[in-house]
Amino acid sequence: MSNAPDDLRYAKSHEWARLEDDGTVTVGITDYAQAALGDLVFVETPEIGRVVSAGEACAVVESVKAASDIYAPVSGEIVDTNPDLANSPEVINSDPYGGGWIMRIRPSDPSELDQLLDADSYLELTSEQD
Amino acid sequence: MQQRTPLYQQHLQAGAKFVEFAGWSMPLHYGSQLEEHHRVRRDAGVFDVSHMLVVDVIGARATDYLRFMLANDVARLTEYGDALYTCMLNERGGVIDDLIVYRLADVRYRLVFNAGCADKDLAWLQRQGGGFEVTITPRRDLAMLAVQGPGARMKVLNLLRSGDQDLAQGLTTFEGAEIGDWFVARTGYTGEDGFEIMLPGGEAPSLWRRLLDSGVAPAGLGARDTLRLEAGLNLYGQDMDETVTPLESGLGWTVAWAPAEREFIGRRALELQRERGIERKLVGLVLEARGVLRAGQTVRVDGQPAGVLTSGSFSPTLDAAIGLARVPASVAVGARVEVDIRGKYLPARVVKPPFVRHGQVLV
């Protein structure tokens, strides 16, 4: 059983999003996603300053097995990416909701967050897929 | 309904994540593919490879039959238990499958084929076998465990009875011995020392449990793939198939040209290709940038698309991406090429596989 903290929002494509106090949105992949992908060995993060639309592929995580696109859960500008992932992509496996964050987005329309799933709905979705 | 090996329950108990492979439900990993990979390189791991097709070929003319069927020459198997790696070819020299053949006795051989080719292999063996009056028996009653790693042999030997122990201990590389209704061979697919053990399916769970109790790590097909890639061993269906010959697949060394009078299926096509020279060959690549090589990526030589990755992955031992690629024969070892990864042309170095053997990085 994977876990999904209550204070996050979730995309059906298995990203999580957290609204920070400074108005930015931190994005990562869920515990369910990291478990399904297996050991991660490479993460390609977007350029800082890139403007993305909700649902746009903007990062890639690669496990030993395969490469998977990561989609922006909200529209906006990429303002930061996790520098630790270059040398330690496995932190996504060990700490998907903490040290394994992937990028921060300054949202152009914060109301897009409301269109994402809450934790219960997301867990329901993943239990159907198991 | 996917087929299950006699060890399915043991995999469940060990926490396996399963994957469908050639119609079989097989363990992909038991938590961490990387950890399993390292365990095999550093100590010992066990793979359930009971999905592979084991075929016994028996008959007065079994040697003649296999000398005709296989590109390598079973006449080289002078001692009982000796093993040989070979391709089975079609008339065009294309690879129907690759396999290991063991000579169990004078006119009794055991062949181990890829699970994904089982049906076509059996059909091909039967179709060509008529004139030789051999008996071709798939041994679905057998399970097969591959125990691999620098500590693997010692851990297996400790589980055998003393007399059997001596027999197994005396085996050299690519040699096996029948021990009762078990067959223990010093072969594998990881680039490490170890044994492959074929035994009645009903006895497999107990051997599996005793291996795990001895500190052997269960390892899945995921680790098996990265280990074989590091070892520079081809995977059928990826690195070669019926559209390419052994000469185009880094397997020229497995073709026994001598004696010249031995006819084998595919020989004429191979001889013609050898005379004309091959246009493509299989090489190793090491990516010299961050990223992961994958099968299907385009290899660029002198700025032009010229080849294709047939296998690619992250190498846990090198901590870099490695792959096998089919490229123009003119590409030399040591050359720099580029690989198209999502539109970026990343530099890669051409090497001669293996990448890793017995725990040591060779490239």
What is the DSSP code string of B213-249?
Answer: HTTPEE--HHHHHHHHHHTT---BTTTB-TTS-GGGG
| pLDDT, tens only, B14-43 | 999 999 999 999 999 999 999 999 999 999
Tell me the two tokens of residue B151: 């500590």
Among partner residues B17, B33, B291, which is closest to A64 by beta-carbon distance?
Answer: B33
Residue A38 with chain B: CB contacts under 8 Å:
17, 28-29, 32-33, 222
Q: Do A64 and B34 touch (CB under 8 A)?
A: yes
CB contact under 8 A, B292 and A86: no
| Chain A residues lying within 8 Å of B219, measured CB to CB | none
Q: Are B227 and B37 in contact (CB under 8 A)?
A: yes
- Kindly report the backbone phi and psi dihedral angles of residue B211, in degrees, each rounded to the nearest multiple of 5, phi listed first: -65, -45
The answer to whether the Cβ–Cβ distance between A41 and B291 falls below 8 Å is: no
Pairwise CB contact (< 8 Å): A41 & B33: no
Do residues B69 and B226 make contact, with C-beta atoms less than 8 angstroms apart? no
The ipTM value here is: 0.89
- Cβ contacts (< 8 Å) between A60 and chain B: which residues? 342
Indicate the residue type of B191.
Answer: G
- pLDDT at residue A47 above 90? yes
Predicted local distance difference test score (pLDDT) of residue B96 = 98
On whether the CB atoms of residues A15 and A31 are closer than 8 A, the answer is no
Q: What pLDDT does residue B295 have?
A: 97
Structure tokens at B288: 């010299």
Tell me which chain B residue has its CA closest to the CA of residue A87. Answer: B290
Mean pLDDT by 10 residues, chain B (363 residues): 96 97 97 97 98 98 98 97 98 98 97 98 93 96 98 97 93 96 97 98 98 98 98 98 98 97 98 97 97 98 97 97 98 98 97 97 95
Q: Name which of B17, B33, B38, B287 to mutate to probe chain A: the one with the most chain A Cβ atoms within 10 A of its Cβ.
A: B33
Q: Which residue in A42, A44, A60 is closest to B314 by CB distance? A: A42
Which phi and psi (to 5°) does residue B85 adopt?
Answer: -95, 135
**What is the number of CB-based contacts under 8 A between chain A and chain B?**
39
Residue A31 token pair? 């515990």
Query: Which tens digit of pLDDT belongs to each residue from A62-114?
Result: 999 899 999 999 999 999 999 999 999 999 999 999 999 999 999 999 999 99
The confidence score (pLDDT) of residue B1 equals 83
**Residues of chain A contacting residue B226, judged by C-beta atoms under 8 Å apart:** 64
Task: Check CB contact under 8 Å for B290 and A42.
Answer: yes
User: Quick check: B315 and B229 in contact, CB under 8 A?
Assistant: yes
Q: State how beta strands B83-89 and B95-105 pair.
A: antiparallel
Please list, in sequence order, all residues whose beta carbon lies within 8 angstroms of the beta carbon of residue B72, skipping any fewer than 6 positions away. Answer: B84, B85, B86, B87, B101, B254, B255, B256
Chain A hits for B35, CB-CB cut-off 8 Å, are 39
Q: What is the pLDDT of residue A130?
A: 63
pTM of the model: 0.95
